[in-house]
Amino acid sequence: MNDRNSEKERIMNQYRVRQTRQILAITAAIFLVLLAAVIHKRPDLFGTYSRSSLFAAQAITIAVFLGFTNWNWRCPSCAAFLSSDIYRRRCKKCGTHLQ
């Protein structure tokens, strides 16, 4: 029984780590995409950048975020993708309690 509880705790801790990383990634991605938009609208802040270079920076930010999410946001028990719910309680695939 103790092994089952320790495995449950390990899964819950791993989920919290992944959840924290995901929240940080969401925050960073939103910040960088919005920063590029502000730089485009206010060239006096950081200098003038071409519209295409700012669009490329936004596209790269989104691509990196999606790649990170695909790697990070998985069930610690079965490795299934956890979908869009950042506060998920159970894995839809294996039914493991995450919180």
Is the pTM higher than 0.75? The answer reads: yes
Read off the pLDDT of residues 76-85 as tens digits, 9 standing for 90 and up.
999 999 988 8
Q: How far is CA 95 from the centre of its chain?
A: 22
Read off the pLDDT of residues 55-70 as tens digits, 9 standing for 90 and up.
999 999 999 999 999 9
Contacts of 12 (CB under 8 A, 6+ apart): 97, 98, 99
Predicted confidence at residue 20, as pLDDT, reads: 96
Read off the pLDDT of residues 2-51 as tens digits, 9 standing for 90 and up.
777 888 999 999 999 999 999 999 999 999 999 999 888 877 777 777 88
